[in-house]
Amino acid sequence: MTTVLAIGTYSDTDRAALENELAPVFANGPGDIAALPEDQRRQIRALTFMGHHPLGGAEMDLLPNLGLIANFGVGYDAIDVAAATARGIKVTNTPDVLNDDVADLAVALLIAQGRQMLPAADWVSSGNWAARGNFGLARKVSGGRAGIVGLGRIGRAIANRLAAFDMEIHYTSRREKETPGWTYHADPVSLAEAVDYLIVALVGGPETENHVSKEVIAALGPRGIIVNISRGSTIDEAALLDALESGAIAGAGLDVFLNEPDIDPRFLKLDNVVLQPHQGSATVETRAAMGQLQRDNARAFLNGDALLTPVN
Ligand code: 8YV
């Protein structure tokens, strides 16, 4: 009897591991649940979920015996956790195992934009270096002032890395935290005024929507670079595009967007950005660890054991 439904586009390795460990029925997205035969839907007790399409109460109601949604990812903003809780459904995620990779990418985006690595690489591959001489000068990143928006697990991993670059660390968070002397700002406008680099590491969801507002972006100023490795929804994207187009800020390094993967075409015309296709956790090692934790949560639930990383 199939008791597990696996939703999402899994890697071949994860798909094989899911088949081996949980023998699930597969579906591409939440929109495909309704098409499963009713007797199969009734058997489902655990759902392994991957992706960013909304999973709400209506979909949960199609699975009357569902007791667990095990998310592949630390961010679970696609899942209506309140609706799950109201139905007695537990939700788990995959925290910590991806902190290093996401923090590495944030630093890479910051340095890539600050040091103009994409245009400089083009300068070499286009033959301009030999034909036209040296590429222009970029800007120094080490020793600069960095503002971390959201000092959770990933924000802290980013701050630790930037501290090793001798950067002055400022942060904003729901509350002041214990740090090795980093400067707390109660609001993001005051944070943006104090720094040159703003690195967004918030959780997604309605609470943080447009947290990096038009005012925050304006406060960062014309030397400012914004890095976002969280969710597209955390920044007022229209205001960000306006600021990048007008030069109100210097540039951005972005891994996340609204409406991924159909991102706003205005991004494609900019020459002051480094864009990534939501790659923060996308290494072989980390994705394997995330998949393992997701399956371990599902198995624990099915065996009646304590969940490893519950969120409700
Ligand atoms: C995604 C992520 O889970 O962990 C997160 O919150 O955004 C990513 O690691 C991954 O892209 C799979 O959808």
Indicate if 135 and 220 belong to the same structural domain: yes
pLDDT of 260 reads 97
pLDDT higher than threshold 90 for residue 2: no
Can you give the residue range of the structural domain that contains 226? 99-275
User: Number of structural domains, the chain?
Assistant: 2
Supply φ then ψ for residue 306, to 5 degrees: -65, 140
Q: Residues 15-29: what's their mean pLDDT?
A: 97
Residue nearest to atom 6 of ligand 1 (CA): 75
Residues 103/108/110/115 CA torsion (nearest 10 deg): 160
Per-residue pLDDT tens digits for 164-196:
999 999 999 999 999 999 999 999 999 999 999
Four-residue CA torsion sign, 104, 105, 107, 112: positive
Same domain, 169 and 242: yes
Strand 90-92 relative to strand 273-275: parallel, antiparallel, unpaired?
unpaired
Predicted pLDDT at 252? 98
Q: Which of 278, 283, 284 is the best mutation target for the ligand 1 pocket, counting ligand atoms within 8 Å of the beta carbon and taking the most?
A: 278
Residue owning the nearest CA to atom 8 of ligand 1: 73
Same domain, 87 and 110: no
**Distance of CA 163 from the midpoint of ligand 1 (Å):** 26
- Pairwise CA distance, residues 176 & 119, whole Å: 39
pLDDT > 90? residue 19: yes
3-state secondary structure at position 56:
coil
Which letter does DSSP use for residue 87 in this model?
T
Distance 290 CA to ligand 1 centre (A): 9
Residue nearest to atom 1 of ligand 1 (CA): 73
Residues 293 and 198 in one domain: no
* Ligand 1 pocket, residues with Cβ under 6 angstroms: 50-51, 72-75, 98, 278, 280-281
Find the length of the chain. Answer: 312
235 and 157 share a domain?
A: yes
Residues 194 and 242 in one domain: yes
Answer yes or no: is 311 within a domain: no
Do 264 and 134 share a structural domain? yes
For position 29, which CATH number holds? 3.40.50.720
- Percent of the chain predicted with pLDDT > 90: 99
**Looking at the domain assignment, is residue 312 inside a domain?**
no
Active site residues: 231, 260, 278
Probe target for ligand 1 pocket from 11, 98, 281, 293, with the most ligand atoms within 8 Å of CB? 281
* Whole-number pLDDT of residue 155: 98
Residue 121 belongs to a domain? yes
- Residues 207-231: pLDDT tens digits? 999 999 999 999 999 999 999 999 9
Query: What average pLDDT does the segment 281-285 reach?
Result: 97
- Report how far residue 120's alpha carbon sits from residue 179's, in angstroms, rounded to the nearest whole number: 36
235, β-bridge pairs: 212
Does one domain contain both 207 and 185?
Answer: yes
> Is pLDDT above 80 for 66?
yes
Check whether residue 88 and residue 219 sit in a common domain: no
